[in-house]
Amino acid sequence: MAQIIFIALTIITFGIAFRKYSQLRRNILLGKDVEIKGNTGERTKNMLLIAFGQKKMFKRIIPAVMHLFIYVAFLFTQIELIEIFVDGIFGKHRFFRPYLGGMYTGLISFIEILSVGAFIGTLVFLIRRNLLKVPRFHMDEMTGWPKLDGNLILYAEILLLIGIFSMNGADEALFNMGQTHATGVAEGTTGSFGFAVSQYFGPAMFGGMEVGTLHFIERAGWWLHIIVVFTFLNYLPFSKHLHILLAFPNVFYSKLNSRGEMENMPAIMNEVKSMMGLIPESEMAPAGDMNDMPKFGVSDVFDLTWKNMLDAYTCTECGRCSSVCPANVTGKKLSPRKIMMDVRDRAEEIGKNLDANNLECIAADKKEGATKLTKENYDDGKSLFDYITNEEIHACTTCNACVEACPVTIDPLDIILQLRRHEILDLAAGPGDWTPMFTSIENSGSVWQIPDSRAKWATDLATEET
C-alpha cells in the first residue's frame, strides 16, 4: 500500500511541477530572442566558478560560509534522495547499503555532518533575517511575501533535517535492538549502521522507546523528508529560491565583455554614421516610412530579451546589489533588486492572463475576431512603467556596482538603461534639467551650451597651420 501511495504521489507531484515549469519557461520567453555569442569554454569556466563554486559569494565571508554549508549539504543530500525514491518504488529500505558496504556508511556519515553544518547555517540566516535586522533584508520591497518567502525556505530546511535525523536516528536505535528492516540485514541482527551523527544521536534521543514507536518515528521521518522535497519542487517557481536551478544557465549566458561597455542601439548608431559620412551611400538603408519608426528602448517585458527575463527569475533577492548602489545608499528611491522583482512580477501578471485566456487584455483595435490571447496581441494598457517609476530609473549613475555585486551575474543596469532610452527617445520625456544637455549635444556635440561646434577648435587649428 505504501508503494502505491508513493508512486501515485510522485506522479501527481511531477505532473503539477511539469505544468508550472512550462509556464515559467513561457514567461521567460515573453522576452525577445537574442543571439548570445562568445567562447563556450570561458562561459563554462564562469559557470563552474561562479554558479557552482560560489566564487562571488565570498566577498562577504560569514554569509558565504553559512550558505556553503547549506549548498553543499543540498547537493549531497540528493544522493540519499535517489535511494529514497528507489526504496519508495520497490518497497525496500536502504536499498544501496548491501551493494556499497563501507562506502555507504561513509557517504551517509558525510551527509549527516554536512546536515549539521546546514542546520547551523539555517539558524544563522533566520537570526540575520529576523533578529539582527540586516538592513538589506528590510528595504521597502522586502515586506509581505518576499519576507515570508525568505523565512519559509529556512523552515523547510529545518523540516528536512528533522526528517533525515528522525529516520536515521530511529533506525540506529532499532538496529541496536535487532529490529531494523534495512535491506540486507537479517532479522534479529543487532549492531549499528555506524553513521557519524546518528549512531550517537539515535540511542540518546530514542533509546528506551518501544519497537512500534521507533518504527513509526523512522517511517514518519522518511515520509516527512520526501513530502518536503515534493513540496519544495512545486514551491520553487513561486520563490526566489528558483536560483538553485537558474543560476547555472544565467551565469553561462552572462556577458563576457567589459561590464563598463554599454550596448549601442543600431538604429541610432547607423543613423549617426550616415550623417557623418562614415557609411558609404551604397550601404545605406533605403529611407523607410516615417510612420514606421523603430521603437527605442523598453516599455514592457516583450521588449526585453529572454536573457533579461532569465535575470529577473534568477534573482535571489539577497539585496547585495541595492546595498552597494550609491543612489540607494544616499537615500534615493532606486533599488536594483526591486527593478528585477518588478520585471518578474509584471511577467507573472501577463502569464496569469495568458493562462486564463483573458481576452480583455487585448486592445479594442486588435480585439475583433480574436479568440486566443498571445504575447503577440497582448495589450492590457499597462507597462513596466506601472511598476517602475521614472524617479527610480533617473537615479541610476550607471556605475555597474549592482552588476559587480550580484553573486549570479544579474544585470539590472541593462534593464534600467533600456527603460530610460524608451522614456527619452520614444516618449520625449525625462527630467527637465536633462533637456538642455540633450539640446546641446544635438546642436554642438557638447554637453555644455556653447555657441560653437565641439570640433571647431580642430578646424581652427588646421586653418592656422595652413
> Does the residue 260 lie in any domain?
no
Residue 284: predicted pLDDT: 59
Residue 19: predicted pLDDT: 95
Residue 289: predicted pLDDT: 52
Dihedral sign (CA 50, 54, 58, 60) = positive
> Does the residue 281 lie in any domain?
no
**Cell numbers representing residue 466 in the block:** 595652413
Count of domains for the chain = 3
Same domain? 437 vs 359: no
Same domain? 245 vs 160: yes
Longest dimension (CA), the chain: 109
> Does the residue 383 lie in any domain?
yes
Kindly give the parts of the chain with pLDDT less than 50. Answer: none
Residue 465: predicted pLDDT: 66
> Does the residue 289 lie in any domain?
no
- Report the predicted TM-score, pTM, of the whole model to 2 decimal places: 0.88
Same domain? 228 vs 332: no
Same domain? 349 vs 394: yes
> Does the residue 163 lie in any domain?
yes
Residue 276: predicted pLDDT: 66
Using alpha carbons, list the distances in angstroms from residue 11 to 7, 80, 217, 229, 253.
6, 20, 25, 14, 33
**Cell numbers representing residue 379 in the block:** 495589450
Same domain? 352 vs 227: no
Residue 286: predicted pLDDT: 58
Residue ranges making up the domain that contains 398: 295-430
> Does the residue 322 lie in any domain?
yes
Same domain? 43 vs 90: yes
CA distance 263 to 411: 12
Same domain? 301 vs 423: yes
Residue 294: predicted pLDDT: 74
> Does the residue 266 lie in any domain?
no
Same domain? 246 vs 107: yes
**Cell numbers representing residue 175 in the block:** 538496529
Same domain? 124 vs 109: yes
Same domain? 239 vs 106: yes
Buried residues in 133-168 as b, exposed as e (16+ CB within 10 A) = eeebbebebbeeebbebbebbbebbeebbbbbbbbb
Residue 292: predicted pLDDT: 60
Same domain? 441 vs 410: no
Name residue 32's beta-bridge partners.
305
> Does the residue 361 lie in any domain?
yes
Same domain? 247 vs 381: no
